[in-house]
Amino acid sequence: MDEMMLQKCIDAGLRMTSQREAIAQALDQSYDHPDAELLYERTNKIDSTISLATIYRTLGVFERAGLVQKVDVGDGKSHYETARDQHEHLVDTENGQIHEFKSEELTALLSQIADKMGFELTSHKLEVYGKKHGDVSCRCIQIKVY
């Protein structure tokens, strides 16, 4: 459960250096959506010789290889998460916390709309913003909260 990224990198045919391994490991241990700076700090706890430039360059490589994805949280920085199955982000406008959810209905709808517009859907980015109900009556459909 901890070597996922490393294995994916190898499978993707990437040249693995000690730095990339450290970054991969830091990503494996990141269950949130760190930006480059935060990932830099986490990676440095594993291998303190890594530079921020390498973090950026490696994230670019990983992204192009489809191993990580950018998430736009709306704070001006690029955040990253390891590529997993399709899911969406709901941002709590009061504290910036990100809640994840999945909705097949949503993806189906998007693909249907794109289709009607003459396009083949390749991907989408969605961030939903909301604030907690006063009455937290009902909870969760298929959510992971990190």
Find which of a second copy, DNA, none residue 14 binds, CB within 5 to 8 Å per kind: DNA
Alpha-carbon gap, residue 27 to 43, rounded angstroms? 8
Q: How far is the CB of 135 from a second copy (least distance, A)?
A: 9
Task: Give the DSSP letter of residue 88.
Answer: E
32-70 per-residue burial string, b: 16 or more CB within 10 A, e: under 16: ebbbbebbbebbbebeeebeeebbeebbebbeeeebbbe
Quick one: 4 or 110, whose CB is closer to DNA? 4
Quick one: 37 or 115, whose CB is closer to DNA? 37
Residues 94-123 that bind a second copy (CB under 8 A): 99, 101, 103, 105-106, 109-110, 113-123
132 touching a second copy, by CB under 8 A: yes
